[in-house]
Amino acid sequence: MEKMTYEKAVARLEEIVDKLENGSLSLEEMMKLYEEGTSLAAKCSKSLDAAQLKITELSAGRANVND
C-alpha cells in the first residue's frame, strides 16, 4: 500500500464503509474492499498509537523541565 496520511486513510475507510453499506457490490468486490478496509484500519490504529506515545513522551519531558 502506498504511503498515505492518516487523514487520507480515514477518508478512504469512510468511502469503503459507504460502498459496503450500499449493498450493491458482488461478493468478490465486497471481500476486496473489506480486506483493504482492515488494512487501513490497522494503519490508522498504528498511527494513533504512535501519536499517543509521542504526546506522552513530550508531556513527560515537559513535566521534567518544569520540575
Domain map (residue ranges) of the chain = 6-66
- For residues 4 and 20, what is the distance between their CA atoms, to the nearest angstrom? 21
In this structure, are residues 13 and 38 in contact, taking their beta carbons and an 8 Å threshold? Answer: no
Q: Give the confidence band of 19 by pLDDT, cuts at 50, 70, 90.
A: very high
Torsions phi, psi for 25 (to 5 deg): -100, 160
Torsions phi, psi for 59 (to 5 deg): -65, -40
pTM of the full structure: 0.79
- For residues 4 and 9, what is the distance between their CA atoms, to the nearest angstrom? 6
Residue 1 confidence (pLDDT) above 60: no
